[in-house]
Each structure stands twice: as structure tokens, then as C-alpha cells.
Amino acid sequence: MAHASEGRGQEFRLPDLGEGLTEAEIVRWLVEVGDVVAVDQPVVEVETAKAMVEVPCPYGGVVTARFGEEGTELPVGAPLVTVAVGTGEDGAAPAAGTEAAASAGGESRVAESAGAASTGGESRAAEPVAARAEAAGSGNVLVGYGTSEAPARRRRVRPDRRAATGAAARTNGRVRVAGPVDGPVGGSADGPVEGLVDGPVPVISPLVRRLARQNDLDLRELTGSGPDGLILRADVEYALRASAAQGGRAADHEARTGRAPVTAPTAPASATTPGVPRSGTVRTPLKGVRGAVADKLSRSRREIPDATCWVDADATGLMRARTAMNASGGPKISLVALLARICTAALARFPELNATVDTEAREIVRFDDVHLGFAAQTDRGLVVPVVRDAHARDAEGLTAEFARLTEAAHEGRLTPGELTGGTFTLNNYGVFGVDGSTPIINHPEAAMLGVGRIVAKPWVHEGELAVRQVVQLSLTFDHRVCDGGTAGGFLRYVADCVEQPAVLLRTL
């Protein structure tokens, strides 16, 4: 028996995806209106300022409405989908064997439910379903934190064609609407919608979307060469080459239509005209990762009275120790892992720097565990993954975790939990070929160690001038948590360990 026709509409809103996140951009819809979804089944892929995640729906039933097109930015708490929840004993999706009944008697009622949800602006109130969702193993909103039960296969429940008041034709991912449309499609729900309405774009890879977005290419204009019209990276690259060869978008439009695009004549803007940008001005919105970084760095500058001290150190001994470790067999030890091990040893001696300031309570909060963040530059911008319990890991364990988090950062697979909760940050800006820096503290932490490039320089060693591997170390710290003596002692201990790694043996 089918429950879709008797279902109650449940509106699923965009949940809080992590600390400090207030909005997310829809990257790809994983379901369409009419699909049957199971509890905890991912329904949409979104990109936040910190990661790209799939959002599972805590309700099971028939999707009756979607809110927002791909590329739309939604605030936390905004509606994502409306699901018609069945009234059976399990409170989940309709049974798999009821497709015939759903198509015979439930189609029109599902369509009416979808129309009511969109034209009314609000879904009908329903009794709480928390008990049923908990019984089904739900209550979670992030993939990886929910139940381990595999989602059921989706099947399409097609709305009754008589419920629609206009004819539609789908071509290349777009729908041309000739009359009023049931459901929120970007216009007024109680009036006719004319023109083109964007539909789902057959793209799976976020890398393909990013490549198109960076080159201002509309994926809806492409025909995919993959299975079922899937747009591949090769399709995007071919389109970009073709557009460049034809002189840009205007020439491409002229080649397709046989006529040049008509534009209204515009008067040249004066450089002194208020509100008119100068020629060549480019405005980039502060959003996504760039916006999150800007907000966090600005807050750090406003709230933290920071100071910086630095010292040059002879890293020849550390480099030789690493060479000896890697020559003994086993996994290769990375340099950043050795620096992280030195950091954790220094924080054990100077725990004042493994802390934060609670401004509301006017208290310094000191942490026992070291959750070490490290700066990673990616195509999406600067991110700071966090190595949990770094103080409890050896050099091999730190090397493996750094490699895993770095790969996830470059592929955009970091979860919000892997980007928050740090207590101290290691910034290896030497990879950019620079010697020194005065970094901004990663709020709300209290300190950051910066490491410059290791380069051969003349150095007095054992009373004689020699060529040694020299590195500049800098420590930026919150002056509220300690004075200069503590900060200087921390940095001097780090430098001693870099120059003589055997110093670490005292604490192993």
C-alpha cells in the first residue's frame, strides 16, 4: 500500500554545518522533485566557507519541492526540500512494491501536495516526527555522523500531468515554461512564469564546476560527452579552447546564431563620475573561503593584542637527523612532522601558549591536549586543518596525518570537524620561498609559530665560519596570556631543538 498520497509535508531546512558558518552554496542537487528518499539519504551537495559536504535529510518520503537552484547561496535555516512523509507504522518512505498504487491514485495527490507547498509559501504544519526519526536511526544532518544503514534506491514518482497548467519542454538541462509552474522556481508562486528556468546540470565532479566557474562558463550551454550526457572536464576544457579561438563569448554567440549580439549603446563613463568605477576595475565578492578568512583575520586583529619575536637557527642538525631517520627504512618522515613534534614538546614546557581568552568571562582557558592546526594553501583559498591530539603522536603518525589532511584539503573533502577546534597553529611559510613573516593569530588561539625557508648561509659554527642550513623562526602570541619572557622561552626552546634534535630525548 502506498503512503505517498497520505503523507504529511515536512520542511527540511539547511542545518548548521559547522562552527561560525552562516551560509552555504548549492553545488549539486542529488534528488529531484518526485524522488523517494530514505532517512539520512543525502539530498544536496553544498559548499561552505570551510568544506564541501553532502547534506542528508532526516525525513523519509517523497520530495515535493526543492528550494534554490545550483549556485544559489542560502543562509543557515533556509528551506532546502519539502518531503511528504508517509503515515505508516515505520514513518518512512513508501514501500518498494507500491509503485503501481502510487502511480494510479497517489500521483495527483503528490502533485497537489507539491503545488500547495510552493504556492502557499509555507508547508502545512505537521506533528513532530523526532520520535519516528530517532527510531529509524536518524537525527543527524552531516554525512559521516549519521547512521550506517545504506540509503534505499531512489525511484521516481511522476506527478500527474494534469496538475501542471503549462506545457514544458526540456532541452540541454533547461525547461521552457509556457504557463504557470507548480513549485518555487525563482519567480512568484502565484503568477505565471515566463522564459527559461534552470534545471539540474549533469555534473558530478566539483572540480569541473570550479573550472567552469573560474572561467565564467555556463555549464547549461554544454552537452556532456559522458554517460547519460554527463559533463566531463574534457568538455569544459574543449569549450574554453573553442571560445578562446573564436574571440570570446561574443564571437561564439555570433557563430551559433549567425548574428552578433545586440547591445545598447553606452556613453563613456567619466573617471570623476560618482558611483561609476574606473575602466579596468574588478570587484570580487568576499564570500566562501575568501570571505571566511577575511572575517576571521579581521576579528583577530580587532580582539587580540599580538606581538611577534623571532630568531635565526642553524637547522643543519635537524636536516641530518631527518636524513638518518629516512635512511633507516620505513615510512619517510616529513620535515613539518618534526617541526610539529618540536612544537608539542615546547607547549608541554610552556603551556601558557596552548590557550585561549574567554572575553565574556575575562578568563584565560588553558588546554591539556594539543590540537595542532597547520596552514594549507589550496585552490579554494587558505584553510587550516587540525591534527587532533598531536601531542600523543610520534613522527610517523604526524607525517601520515599531515599527508591525509593535506590531500583532503586540496580535493575539497575536509569536514567542518577537521577545520575547527585547534589550540595552536604551525605556519610553514618557507614553502613560498620567504625567510620571515609576522603572521596573524588564528582566532581564538593564543599563538602561532612561523617557519621560514631553510637556506644555506654563512654561520659561525664551533668558532669557525662555515656554510650551514639556516632557518628563521617567528612566534606571534597573544600578550594577554603571557609576557615576553614566556614567549621568548618557548621560541628559544624550539630553536634549541632545531639546532640540536637530541634535546628532544629528554622529554621522550
Which residues touch 420 (CB under 8 Å, ≥6 apart)?
18, 19, 20, 50, 386
Q: Which residue has the higher pLDDT, 11 or 381?
A: 11
Query: Under DSSP, is residue 245 helix (H, G, I), strand (E, B) or coil?
Result: helix
DSSP string, 59-117: --EEEEEE-S-TT-EEETT-EEEEEEE--STT-SSPPGGGHHHIIIIIHHHHHHHHHHH
Residues 136-172 as b/e (b if ≥16 CB within 10 A, e otherwise) read: bebebbbeeebeeeebeebeebebeeebbeeeeeeee
pLDDT number for residue 47: 80
| Statement: residue 484 has pLDDT above 60 | yes
Of the given ranges (59-73, 221-235, 323-337, 373-387), which has the lowest mean pLDDT? 221-235
User: Rounded mean pLDDT of 489-508?
Assistant: 89
pLDDT tens across 5-55, in order? 445 788 999 887 765 567 888 888 999 999 999 988 999 988 876 677 888
Provide, rounded to the nearest whole percent, the portion of the chain with pLDDT above 90: 39
Strand 424-427 versus strand 447-451 pairing type = parallel
pLDDT number for residue 291: 82
Q: Out of 40-54, 189-203, 273-287, 364-378, give the one with best mean pLDDT.
A: 364-378
| Statement: residue 423 has pLDDT above 80 | yes
3-state SS track over 257-269:
HCCCCCCCCCCCC
pLDDT number for residue 417: 87
pLDDT tens across 316-363, in order? 999 999 999 999 888 999 999 999 999 999 999 999 999 999 999 999
Scanning the structure block, which residue is given the C-alpha cell 558611483? 275
Q: What is the enclosing helix (H) or strand (E) of 301?
A: helix 288-303
Provide, rounded to the nearest whole percent, the portion of the chain with pLDDT above 70: 66
pLDDT number for residue 364: 97
Active site (catalytic) residues:
479, 483
pTM value surpassing 0.85: no
pLDDT number for residue 130: 40
C-alpha cell of residue 30: 542529488
pLDDT number for residue 31: 92
User: Rounded mean pLDDT of 85-93?
Assistant: 49
C-alpha cell of residue 252: 561564439
pLDDT number for residue 437: 87
pLDDT band at 424 (very low <50, low <70, confident <90, very high): very high
pLDDT number for residue 172: 38
pLDDT tens across 436-448, in order? 888 899 999 999 9
C-alpha cell of residue 225: 560527452
pLDDT tens across 286-306, in order? 887 778 888 889 999 999 999
pLDDT tens across 232-269, in order? 878 888 888 777 766 644 555 555 555 555 554 444 44
pLDDT tens across 130-178, in order? 444 444 444 444 433 344 344 444 444 444 434 443 333 333 333 333 3
pLDDT number for residue 302: 94
pLDDT number for residue 231: 84
Per the CB < 8 A criterion, the answer to whether 422 and 386 are in contact is: yes
pLDDT tens across 462-477, in order? 999 999 999 999 999 9
